[in-house]
Amino acid sequence: MQTGVVVNPKFVQNSSAKTVISIDAMGGDHGVGVVIDGMVRAANTLPEINFILHGREQEISPLLSKHKILKERVQVRHADDVVKMDDRPSRIMRHGKSTSMWSSLESVRQKEASVAVSCGNTGALMAIAMIRLRKAQGVKRPAIAILWPSLNPQGFNVMLDVGADIRADAQDLKVFALMGASYARNGLGLEQPRIGLLNVGTEDHKGKPELHEANDIIAADATTNKFKYVGFVEGGDIPSDKVDVIVTDGFTGNVALKTGEGTANLIGFRMREAFTRNIFSKISALLALRNLRYLRHKIDPRQVNGGVFLGLNGTVIKSHGAADATGVEAAIRLAFQLSQLGFNEKLAARVAYGLQNSQDNHETDDDPIVGSDK
Amino acid sequence: MQTGVVVNPKFVQNSSAKTVISIDAMGGDHGVGVVIDGMVRAANTLPEINFILHGREQEISPLLSKHKILKERVQVRHADDVVKMDDRPSRIMRHGKSTSMWSSLESVRQKEASVAVSCGNTGALMAIAMIRLRKAQGVKRPAIAILWPSLNPQGFNVMLDVGADIRADAQDLKVFALMGASYARNGLGLEQPRIGLLNVGTEDHKGKPELHEANDIIAADATTNKFKYVGFVEGGDIPSDKVDVIVTDGFTGNVALKTGEGTANLIGFRMREAFTRNIFSKISALLALRNLRYLRHKIDPRQVNGGVFLGLNGTVIKSHGAADATGVEAAIRLAFQLSQLGFNEKLAARVAYGLQNSQDNHETDDDPIVGSDK
């Protein structure tokens, strides 16, 4: 193991009363600089945040020294190696101990930090998280949840799984519903989130066998688990106000997420084209600038950068590989918020309770645990 | 069987030299009027088009009589019943003989019309088409192909399957590639379309086993079948210029299609909001009107309304259930274009050739058929 500690004594003094976030400095598309810029932005408005930053010390230190605000708030952990975007997860699981990604998760495992953030290879991050943090009780398949811009008052819906695993059986989908509800309750402040199961139609006879089974078992336990179950939803409902949490397997969820991003990119391209065709359209674009900025703000995917790994003993946030400083800042803010809420413990309690008190579990417990999940 | 012919003698005289399209008047969300309005629009610019219109004569005739242009160009076939949006396909297969949908496909089966167009229940339409028109040789699973707005010079990409069947094995995906290439060649005029297989990543090790197998067999026969194979593509590539045809199973394709539509709707909603927030934004919207119209035209899904059923002995076009007159017109124009091209015969020949000359077929034929598919 090639990781080493670069001690910052002031950090040690400060960190006990602070929220410590573990950051993988390497592996994003835009390098260390963007990650540090994102940390600066977050630190500017979150005085309670401290960082452990993992990566090549010789690349990190010169950049870090430029930012006074980070001076006493960052501890650097040197790691020689970097997980590349095209590295196979199986290789990293065997030979990845000296990478910054591995080191960043180790800080969560050791409880030095409450949440880890990485812009690197998703598959490798999940693979290391599974072996180092291990799965929470009752969770066979962890999931990655994201926030999707929507027409709901809270502005976003939760969708999971968007790519932790390409498969999910009915029981996995039920656990996703429990975890997604907990995330919506804590992350979006929804007391009774509405859960929908993604399918190719809303009629009961449509779709795959595992979806019919999941439809039944999720519906059976909705009240016990303090969510509303709206049944099957379609792709068009993902950004709608009919539902707060969309449950699906990681293959379908990943395709849907990227299709949504691709569609938004296409429309953005056509919009720039429409407003720059000729001198008249450019003038009207200037006049419409406030409107266009408002629009961009409303649908800017960078504002909600960060897929959360759910179902592990520790919280891990995967930032978009192409994230800029605004995107990295958003991922760090999310990490901070979830840490402050004690989210991971609440989620674990919620899943354990949901599985224990399931209709398809004979050892039901009639005495509900109270207040575990808000 | 409760369908009957309402003879229009002038139609019979005219139709021999004309392209006859069979239209299901019933079953769309907006009723018969919208379908007839779409026919009027198409007839105005396509002097070579005639129609056989299937549905309740008492509803159709009063509306039809208002449009002089349709007078000698439409034959009405009375059908008592209508397939409803929530009818199960299995029920319609057994008891649907008296419906306008069944009747509209019967016209294609009898070769009175070259293409059928319906706004009704997709599952029922495919089910009837399978038993009445039957599958083309070598096709185990027919597919529904749509045109997706894209950054390519041709403005659209082909995607299939978007919902004929929720499953597809590797061999089905190969047939989809052959059919999609033929559609792109004939419908979009692309000599050597680029085919991509939808997956959750572009690396070879990602995704489901059937995708790896399909990846190998599609790549092996690309040159023989006159297309380029670009390998795995992701959801974000669907509207891109990296690929012309996206191949996937009907479950994933349907979710992706509806997610794309939902995302476009969300952005449209936010855009209207941005340009109507207050009096200043409304004024700037007026000034930007030409730009906004240009944008709408570029991404208007009604311009490409029409999922084409591929792999049957006859061409069937499924129009969106919620299509307005512009949408119905687009579906009819597509039907006309495919009929003029003799598309269905070309596609059948292409699939037969592709399967016969496959690397995994021992009875290969070294003498390629020429000119069957443009």
- Is A166 within 8 Å of B254 when comparing Cβ atoms? no
- In which element (H, E) is residue A94 found? helix A89-95
Beta carbons of B254 and A235 less than 8 Å apart: yes
Per the structure block, which two tokens stand in for A354?
């949901």
pLDDT of residue B173: 97
**C-alpha torsion angle, residues B32, B37, B38, B40 (rounded to 10):** 130
Tell me the pLDDT tens digit for each residue of A159-201. 999 999 999 999 999 999 999 999 999 888 999 999 999 999 8
Cis check: omega of the bond before A161, within 30 degrees of 0: yes
Stretch A125-152: mean pLDDT: 94
**Amino acid B17: pLDDT:** 64
* CB atoms closer than 10 angstroms to residue B15: 19
**Closest residue to B236, CB basis, from A261, A284, A298:** A261
The whole-model pTM stands at 0.86
DSSP 8-state class, residue A240: S
A100 DSSP assignment: H
Structure tokens at A90: 């199986």
The pLDDT of residue A2 is 38
Maximum pairwise Cα distance, chain B: 72
Q: Give residue A9's pLDDT band: very low, low, confident or very high (50, 70, 90).
A: very low
Q: Is the pLDDT confidence value at A364 over 90? A: no
**Token pair recorded at residue B270:** 């936010």
> Quick check: B360 pLDDT over 70?
no
Tell me chain B's radius of gyration from C-alpha atoms: 21
d(CA B310, CA B344): 8
E strands present in chain A: 4-6, 19-24, 49-55, 74-78, 115-118, 143-149, 156-160, 194-198, 228-233, 245-247, 307-310, 315-318
- Whether residue B277 lies within 8 A of chain A, CB to CB, comes out as yes
Q: Is the pLDDT of residue A47 over 80?
A: yes
Compute the nearest-CA separation of A271 from chain B (Å): 6
Residue of A nearest to B208 (CA): A166
> What does the mean pLDDT of chain A come to?
87
Please determine, for residue A105, whether its predicted confidence score (pLDDT) is greater than 80.
yes
Domain boundaries, chain B: 1-134+312-341, 139-306
Average pLDDT over residues B104-114: 96
Closest-CA distance of chain B to residue A304, Å: 16
pLDDT digits over B231-258, tens only?
A: 999 999 999 999 999 999 999 999 999 9
The pLDDT, as a whole number, for residue B204 is 78
Structure confidence by residue, pLDDT tens digits, A22-35: 999 998 889 999 99
Q: Which CATH number fits domain B139-306: 3.30.870.10, 3.40.50.300, 3.40.718.10, 3.20.20.70?
A: 3.40.718.10
Write down the pLDDT at residue A270.
80
Predicted ipTM of the assembly = 0.84
Chain A residues 347-366 with CB within 8 Å of chain B: none
Pick the CATH number of A139-309 from 3.40.718.10, 3.30.70.260, 3.40.50.720, 3.30.230.10: 3.40.718.10
**Topology given in CATH for the domain delimited by B1-134+312-341:** Isopropylmalate Dehydrogenase (3.40.718)
Q: What is the DSSP string of B297-343?
A: HHH-GGGG--EEEESBSSEEEE--TT--HHHHHHHHHHHHHHHHTTH
Amino acid B268: pLDDT: 81
Band (pLDDT 50/70/90 cuts) for residue A304 is: low
Q: How confident is the prediction for chain B on average, in pLDDT?
A: 87
Beta strands in A97-139 (DSSP E): 115-118
Residue at B246: amino acid letter = I
Q: Does A251 touch chain B (CB under 8 A)?
A: yes
CB pairs under 8 A between A and B: 175
B368 to chain A, any CB pair closer than 8 A? The answer is no
Q: What confidence category does residue B12 fall into, taking pLDDT thresholds of 50, 70 and 90?
A: very low
Q: Would you call B366 exposed, middle or buried from its count of C-beta atoms within 10 A (0-12, 13-18, 19+)?
A: exposed
One fold for A1-134+312-341 and A139-309:
yes
Q: What are phi and psi of A9, to 5 degrees?
A: -60, -35
The pLDDT score that the predictor gives to residue B361 is 58
Q: Does A272 touch chain B (CB under 8 A)?
A: no
Contact (CB<8Å) A263/B260: yes
Using one digit for the tens of pLDDT, what is the confidence trace for B162-176?
999 999 999 999 999
Q: Categorize the per-residue pLDDT at B365 as very low, low, confident or very high, splitting at 50, 70 and 90.
A: very low
Q: Is the pLDDT of residue B127 over 70?
A: yes
* B157, pLDDT greater than 50: yes
Q: Are A244 and A188 in contact (CB under 8 A)?
A: yes
Least confident range of A179-183, A277-281, A294-298, A316-320: A294-298
The token duo for B119 is 């706004």
Q: Mutate which of A232, A259, A275, A292 to disrupt the B interface (most B C-beta within 10 Å)?
A: A259
Distance (Å, rounded) from C-alpha A330 to C-alpha A69? 18
Is some CB atom of chain B closer than 8 A to the CB atom of A322? no
pLDDT of residue B4: 46
